[in-house]
Structure 1
């Protein structure tokens, strides 16, 4: 009898110990995880991962040991393997080898802890697709991590990494790699084998050069090398055929890199030591829409800046520029020109404060004041209607410009002057057009950029769908044109300063190349959360509308913050 009592007493203490262990992780949370396959333990002050988390899919649940009947929703034997484990923002210093007991994990989030090492057992999680390790104290990455063939996203920013395993290239399905804010002085040559990569962040390290193999990353769209010690960028970087955004801020570059990358749209080279802009470097940037050159030592802007015919934003803040070339006003799409902090002469200070439009108007006026040189007779052509067409722009820049004429229609002579010239850019902005000129179809096989802004358009012809090369279009409408939803090649749609009240996110999502959508200063009363699913968007402008959510504070944080907010509002 006494032995039975002692046994009872032992069982009772064991029960208390179990309750104490599960006090950290409520039993209800574990029970829900068995059904959903997801367990969120973020921000719980954990110093180690409780054993019952590792054994979630192995041990029989406590309720199964009790004499109770089970409803359909409580069939513990039909539990789902854990696929998503979130352990971020805790105080973990290590991870047990028992992590191998969760082989079904596809997402493991360990960011914002105090990890200084990782177990080799991580290599056994062969289903893993996302591994988040940022904001820890890791000094090395175990080679076993490089065997995770299904890994798509690996984030390691804000650690203490000095080197990376040479076998890093085995992560052949990786699409996103973030190595920013570490102590890397070099990169493994096998980096070039990560041919599925689309985003590569190398910022805030100690890199003095990039490996030659980086040019093999032909699917990378965004490359961030800011805040390193780079002195030059190899021209072979132009072999990265998908590269759209390149960040080179805060390095030691003395020259603008020569990068004839075929789809490069944004180049950030601020805070370097560039003193001179070479025509040769500018001439190859034929697709650029944003060029940041702030905080350098540039003294002059070459007249050939007009080569950058697709440029919409040019930041020259804090340089040593004293004069501006009038050719700046020939950039047909330039919307933002930043010049603060330059010792400019010959331009009134009040003119600089009036904004880009007034400054460009002033520079255009300077062009009209300059007498035509005798050798320029062949570059301009006077039509019977007394309209001047710049033949030089048509032949060399492939630019057909008939802007600020207050015209209700475009004369046939304008189109005739550009026949068979392979025009890629058409600018008919600031006129009185009420419809898209029908003869634009003459250039349907070559035109990629159409600017019809600041007209009086009331409809959009279905003929616009015939422009198979079209990537940018600037329009002004009272509603979002239906036909735009059908142009799958579009990369930019600028509908700012209109009366647009509604957009259809489901149809926008089908525009898989759309990276810029400007809906600023319209009449949008609400922003559909599903717009956050348009994953190709990198620049979404919504300011100046009537909606209350997202709040202005979120909109001010930029596109990423807005998209994340919208996704969080999608009903589940």
Structure 2
């Protein structure tokens, strides 16, 4: 913001040297530490950096930089066109870091145009209530001080996007903290906080949240409402459990839970984009398939310094895993299937009583260990579709072996990426009496769903038929009454059968990149749905009244469709935490509203409902 002062207005002001005279809060040492050249430059640029000047207090003329007449004007000096003080720029950025400040004056309110205030690395024990007057403030850094509490007025900063409070002495946060609804980055690590206000549920725009090095014994379920959260750091607290709601955060990419008191991990049904999971230095004794089977995007898994005795075969499901740290556990053997993790670049095993791998192999590094494990996979674990077909360099993908070990140990029937037009009977024959929970027939040439998939109805809960050539859904699929996750994206579907209403446990359905022109009616009759992904179709309309019946639906992706109109009544679906509408030809809501997130879009839509 730039303020333009008229020459007449300046002349009418009483002669004053307040900007440079000594007075309360303006010690001689402080004034001397702020050269007049810096002040003049700040009037032009709107930025003032006073970092590392050993200031014990902020000189008064800094607070009044945009109010008082400069000393040069009092001495009737001539001004060049570029130095006309009455055309000065309001101060928008003030850096006071690495000084010796013990307090900030209420004169802070004299700088209402500030967008950035940095006072980190000082000796502040409190913040003035005047902080609430900085209505344009976007970034505030008060880290590395001695703050014991925060003023309630801090919650008035409606435009604040970045707040750094780390390395202070805070024991609690204001109850109304959730009023900071524009926050995108919040760091309150290295304090003494034992509980989080429930108002955190309103911080829906936060992308990075750092709660590390505090005294938290539990995490409130309200954190799960932070639908845009990508990075959550809870390192070194006193957490014994993780709320299941946290494990359903669809945007979470990095989760740090190191140095807590966790004994087990939650299931991660919706964290399909989670890339890093750090749970080292806890008390975890067991990993189960429920903990791992949905972590399709996981690249880093840190399990060091726990109490694991065995590693489950299900670890082989993490096909994208690049780094696995198992240091300092009680593991005596590794599952051979670990060797099939083709993306693995770093495997740490130090501090385990491994007895099944020779020391010389361990010393050769990750790739040699994986190669050794692959050599231990029994030939009996692999069968060919024909039962006796030898595998050679000329074997077609559709003829390659079926992984019997995955069927028996991982409860997974995987016949993906074969370019197969049909699923051979031998694949289903290999299942036998084994209970199968996951079916993956993706990336083939299927034009219809195999009839024999109905044989798995008693156990299967996750089916992936993506990247095929399906134009319809068969009745056999509708018989899988235990189904919770269904992925049929990248096919040629235009409709879904009414019989799918029988999928009474379905939670997530991915229909992206098909040919739907309307949202399939049957989906309105599956009340268990939590996520409907319909991006990149040709959808022109949806029924908001029917949609409201889906009270568990928290994610609706309608990106890149043909919506000409967004019904205002959709705003009444307040359970939605993620509503994606970008890439449609409608005129309202405008892009500026969409960019503010789901809550802002829903609020806008509600405001358009005819009274």
Give the TM-score, by structure 2 length. Answer: 0.63
Counterpart in the other structure of 1:40? 49
The 1:337–1:53 alpha-carbon spacing in structure 2 relative to 1, beyond 3 Å, is same
| TM-fit CA distance, 1:73 | 1.4
The 1:182–1:61 alpha-carbon spacing in structure 2 relative to 1, beyond 3 Å, is same
| TM-fit CA distance, 1:341 | 1.0
| TM-fit CA distance, 1:373 | 7.6
Counterpart in the other structure of 1:423? 442
Distance in 2 separating the partners of 1:441 and 1:238 = 27
The 1:399–1:248 alpha-carbon spacing in structure 2 relative to 1, beyond 3 Å, is farther
* 1:129–1:150 CA contact under 8 A, matched in 2: yes
Counterpart in the other structure of 2:120? 111
* 2:257–2:279 CA contact under 8 A, matched in 1: yes
Of 241, 244, 260, 1:251 maps to 260
The CA RMSD over aligned residues, in Å, is 3.6
| TM-fit CA distance, 1:65 | 1.4
Distance in 2 separating the partners of 1:400 and 1:141 = 55
Of 53, 62, 68, 1:59 maps to 68
Aligned ranges 1:146-161 → 2 under 5 Å: 146-161=155-170
Identify the structure with the greater helix proportion. Answer: 1
Aligned ranges 1:402-441 → 2 under 5 Å: 422-423=441-442
Deviations 1:403-442 (A, max 9, x none): xxxxxxxxxx7655789965269xxxxxxxxxxxxxx997
Q: Does 1:177 pair with 2:186?
A: yes
Partner SS for 1:131: strand
Deviations 1:52-111 (A, max 9, x none): 000000000111112322211111111000000000000000000000000000000010
Q: Does 1:304 pair with 2:323?
A: no
Counterpart in the other structure of 1:525? none
The 1:97–1:391 alpha-carbon spacing in structure 2 relative to 1, beyond 3 Å, is same
* 2:385–2:400 CA contact under 8 A, matched in 1: no
Q: Does 1:350 pair with 2:360?
A: yes
Deviations 1:209-257 (A, max 9, x none): 0112111011000000110000011111133221000000000001123
The 1:44–1:390 alpha-carbon spacing in structure 2 relative to 1, beyond 3 Å, is farther
* 1:216–1:239 CA contact under 8 A, matched in 2: no
Q: Does 1:166 pair with 2:175?
A: yes
* 1:422–1:443 CA contact under 8 A, matched in 2: no
Which segment drifts farther, 383-392 or 280-289? 383-392
Give the TM-score, by structure 1 length. Answer: 0.67
Counterpart in the other structure of 1:142? 151
Partner SS for 2:324: strand
Distance in 2 separating the partners of 1:18 and 1:211 = 47
Partner SS for 2:140: strand
* 1:163–1:184 CA contact under 8 A, matched in 2: yes
Distance in 1 separating the partners of 2:178 and 2:277 = 27
Q: Does 1:49 pair with 2:58?
A: yes
* 1:335–1:356 CA contact under 8 A, matched in 2: yes
Q: Does 1:222 pair with 2:213?
A: no
Distance in 2 separating the partners of 1:22 and 1:77 = 22
Counterpart in the other structure of 2:285? 275
Partner SS for 1:361: helix
* 1:255–1:277 CA contact under 8 A, matched in 2: yes
Deviations 1:160-219 (A, max 9, x none): 000111000000000000010000010100011000000000000000001121110110
Distance in 1 separating the partners of 2:423 and 2:21 = 89
| TM-fit CA distance, 1:280 | 2.0
| TM-fit CA distance, 1:284 | 2.7
Distance in 2 separating the partners of 1:215 and 1:275 = 26
Distance in 2 separating the partners of 1:159 and 1:391 = 58
Distance in 2 separating the partners of 1:212 and 1:383 = 52
Of 236, 246, 249, 2:245 maps to 236
Partner SS for 2:286: coil
Partner SS for 1:343: coil
The 1:294–1:421 alpha-carbon spacing in structure 2 relative to 1, beyond 3 Å, is closer
Distance in 1 separating the partners of 2:400 and 2:345 = 23
Partner SS for 2:186: strand
Q: Does 1:323 pair with 2:333?
A: yes
* 2:237–2:260 CA contact under 8 A, matched in 1: yes
Distance in 2 separating the partners of 1:414 and 1:22 = 76
Distance in 2 separating the partners of 1:399 and 1:373 = 13
The 1:38–1:370 alpha-carbon spacing in structure 2 relative to 1, beyond 3 Å, is same
Distance in 2 separating the partners of 1:269 and 1:320 = 16
Counterpart in the other structure of 1:190? 199
Partner SS for 1:357: helix
Distance in 1 separating the partners of 2:143 and 2:413 = 46
Q: Does 1:389 pair with 2:408?
A: no
* 2:443–2:468 CA contact under 8 A, matched in 1: no
* 1:318–1:339 CA contact under 8 A, matched in 2: yes
Deviations 1:493-544 (A, max 9, x none): xxxxxxxxxxxxxxxxxxxxxxxxxxxxxxxxxxxxxxxxxxxxxxxxxxxx
The 1:382–1:423 alpha-carbon spacing in structure 2 relative to 1, beyond 3 Å, is farther
Distance in 2 separating the partners of 1:39 and 1:134 = 19
| TM-fit CA distance, 1:382 | 5.8
* 1:95–1:119 CA contact under 8 A, matched in 2: yes
| TM-fit CA distance, 1:365 | 0.9
Counterpart in the other structure of 1:335? 345
| TM-fit CA distance, 1:380 | 9.8
* 2:220–2:243 CA contact under 8 A, matched in 1: no
Distance in 1 separating the partners of 2:326 and 2:443 = 27
Aligned ranges 1:366-385 → 2 under 5 Å: 366-367=376-377, 369-372=378-381, 385=394
Deviations 1:273-294 (A, max 9, x none): 0111122212232221111000
| TM-fit CA distance, 1:366 | 1.0
Distance in 1 separating the partners of 2:29 and 2:147 = 31
